[in-house]
Copies of this chain bind each other. A is one copy, B any other.
């Protein structure tokens, strides 16, 4: 059986998913695309021989030639499209965020009931480096986990406010760290100092302190205009040892009195393999009629609640805020 996938939103992320499904995924093909920019939809459909163009996301979801749906359109459209997929009883992979507010996330979860239809695109769970870090940072290997340090740096970001960088960028750490540590985040505080001149109106960098239910304290630096390269760092400190990311690099170059490795410009090369493995697992789970190991709707809600608490701390002088689930 080939899973026929419809993709709503074929911007950078949706188009990348489309090409992966048709070029690198076993057992799936893109059967339909939709985009508010009709020309972009047609262009991608032409590239993917055999895909039709739907009038809009709802038409795509209703299409009988679509078995499963990817929502990669603007954040503001996610909730109603996911509701439509639920109504059509079709599996849906929704890029984060599942919905802009916790209330809406909870509405989606209620509508899903006991079905396993919704997955959220927290692709880091499929990144080979995070997978290896999870194994290396197991309690059996480094002892009880005590502290973690995360750094998330982008080369540049357009102007915007600080809360948006939390809900869009830091959200990945807010999902992956509880996943890595096996414990939800229960308390947060937000801190900042001097802001980079490259960063427009927002606070940048930001420092966040997160505490898990298991009492692990996490420091998180988010810096969306770090200039030097796209960089995700993570270090888990345990009672008997420490596990951390190596800097990903295939090749070293010696020249001009320097020994150097290259940083990527953005997240796409860094997480290409994670996206591929995530899509393959999603397709396999649909084909085999079993729950996937992707993040579920509850995970999407939890990350959103932590982000909300961080924004509350930011707006209240860095006060410690408890996360209520």
Chain A residues proximal to chain B, CB less than 8 Å: 21-26, 28, 128-129, 132-133, 136, 141-147, 149, 151, 155, 191-198, 205, 207, 209, 211-212, 214-217, 219, 221, 223, 226-229, 231, 237, 239-265, 273, 280, 284, 318, 320
B211 adjacent to A193 (CB under 8 Å): yes
Least CB distance, A191 to chain B, in whole angstroms: 6
A241 adjacent to B228 (CB under 8 Å): yes
Least CB distance, A134 to chain B, in whole angstroms: 9
Please name the residue on chain B nearest to A194 by beta carbon: B215
Known contacts A240-B228, A255-B240, A259-B263; is-contact A144 B197 (Cβ 8 Å): yes
B205 adjacent to A193 (CB under 8 Å): no
Question: Complex Cα distance A12/B23, Å?
Answer: 26
For A227, give its contact among B191, B216, B226, B240 (CB under 8 Å).
B240
Residues of B within 8 A of A151 (CB): 149
Question: Complex Cα distance A133/B194, Å?
Answer: 20
Please name the residue on chain B nearest to A23 by beta carbon: B26
B207 adjacent to A217 (CB under 8 Å): yes
Question: Complex Cα distance A216/B194, Å?
Answer: 6
| Interface SS of chain A | mixed
For A250, give its contact among B242, B246, B257, B259 (CB under 8 Å).
B246
Question: Complex Cα distance A146/B155, Å?
Answer: 15
Count chain B CB atoms within 10 A of each CB in A146, A237, A251, A265 and give the residue with the most: A251
Q: Apart from A141-B253, A194-B216, A207-B217, what 11 extra A-B contacts exist at CB < 8 Å?
A: A24-B280, A25-B26, A26-B26, A26-B28, A146-B194, A207-B209, A227-B240, A241-B254, A245-B251, A257-B263, A258-B260
22 contacts between A and B (CB under 8 A): A22-B26, A24-B280, A26-B26, A132-B251, A133-B250, A142-B253, A142-B255, A192-B217, A194-B217, A197-B239, A207-B217, A228-B241, A228-B256, A240-B255, A242-B255, A243-B251, A243-B252, A245-B252, A246-B249, A246-B252, A248-B250, A257-B265
Known contacts A193-B147, A258-B261, A259-B263; is-contact A227 B241 (Cβ 8 Å): yes
Residues of B within 8 A of A23 (CB): 26, 280, 284
Residues of B within 8 A of A221 (CB): 147, 149, 219, 237
A239 adjacent to B196 (CB under 8 Å): yes
Residues of B within 8 A of A265 (CB): 257
Question: Complex Cα distance A147/B222, Å?
Answer: 11
For A259, give its contact among B28, B147, B247 (CB under 8 Å).
B247
Residues of B within 8 A of A231 (CB): 254
Residues of B within 8 A of A229 (CB): 254, 257-259
